[in-house]
Amino acid sequence: MKSNRSAADSPTARAQRLKEIARLFTRLGFLAFGGPAAHIAMMHDEVVKRRKWLSEQQFLDILGATHLIPGPNSTELAIHLGFVRGGWPGLILAGACFIIPAMMMVTALAWLYVHYGTTPQAEWLLYGVKPVVIAIILQALWTLGRKAVKGPFLAAVALAVIVLYGSGVHEIVLLFSAGAAVMLISTFRRWRSQHRAVWLLPFAGWQGAPISTAPEAFSLPLMFATFLKIGAVLYGSGYVLLAFLRADLVVRFGWLTDPQLLDAVAIGQVTPGPVFTTATFIGFLLADVPGAAIATLGIFLPSFIFVAISNPLIPRLRNSVWFGRLLDGVNAASMGLMAAVTWQLGRASLVDLPTTIGAVLALILLMRYRVNTTWLIIGGAVLGFIAAAIQG
């Protein structure tokens, strides 16, 4: 047994494991279309069924842990798996190999957008793609919402978040106050079931700072700090990212417009890998290649740190009632934020009857026929091109 363990821990064996990690997650980085659920399914097939790096239960425990920390779930799952398989070098390698392919593709598309995005052809292509993006977000909101909003109490929390976000309350305040409220009130209700309306109290006196509308001068350090903050506090689906990006980059700083933000999401959807590479596109728009690199580093760096901290704690977190209730509240708040920002972006993209019909058709194809989002994006681009030809 001792000789077997020493052979498994030899430099040659460790190097071989790191090569396996690099090959697998680079391939997934180029092929992982379809969003976080598809990414997770692909990783499960590769590391549990095919390679047997870990058991079903270990995989489920790691997946559960990704929901207890901020950041993109599928990217953090890749980082966790790299850590389990290859230690600290594996942690960095798996995450980097999964992120970099998408980062490269988004940077290339951002360059094309900057140089050709204002031509009539490019505008009509995005005219066709934007309604599809709205449909994709709505489908994700419906699917995730059914799991996250577990009963009238959490539905009321989500509704309160929608109202308060529309009133200017900071999204981070909403996420953490909702999580704390649900965690505390769920416990309190076990002791005093008659206090059913007390859940409103955490929101009543916590208005948060109003969102400033004064433009802020652009700087690389401020952009890095903004994306670092978002990566450190964002729970839920990658689409919740839109609420944070809009609040900071459109409303507070005035660096982007709503159409530019939706363009960033649309181009991010064309590429495989994490939705968070939308930050790469925005960074390129604001400061070329250095901006793309700094924005990407800022938004993904917290995920590496959180995985390194949380991985050894997974067995305890899995059985924690308190953390489970906190997560319930945060997830409900995330659904509220998603709903609010979808309404705002929908008003900017569904500008006439054709775009409205396109969004409805895309939603039907997603919900009824489960068409891959990549094909829908391509289809939207083709329809935009046809519309441009007809108009021209």
pLDDT digits (tens, 9 = 90+) for 288-313: 999 999 999 999 999 999 999 988 88
CA distance 326 to 72: 18
Question: How many Cβ atoms are within 10 Å of 136's Cβ, its own excluded?
Answer: 23
User: Could you read off the pLDDT of 65-91 as tens digits, one per residue?
Assistant: 787 788 888 899 999 999 999 999 999
106 contacts: CB under 8 Å, gap ≥ 6: 267, 268, 271, 277, 278, 280, 281, 284, 292
User: Could you read off the pLDDT of 311-336 as tens digits, one per residue?
Assistant: 888 767 657 777 778 778 888 888 88
Q: Average pLDDT for residues 7-18, to the nearest whole number?
A: 82
CA distance 303 to 360: 35
Token pair, residue 138, equals 């709505």
- Our CA dihedral for 238, 244, 249, 254, rounded to 10 degrees, sits at 140
* Residue 256 contacts residue 249 (beta carbons within 8 Å): yes
Q: Find how far residue 292's CA is from the centre of its chain.
A: 17
Ramachandran assignment for 236, one of left (phi > 0), alpha (psi -120 to 50 degrees), beta (any other)? left
Question: How many Cβ atoms are within 10 Å of 287's Cβ, its own excluded?
Answer: 17
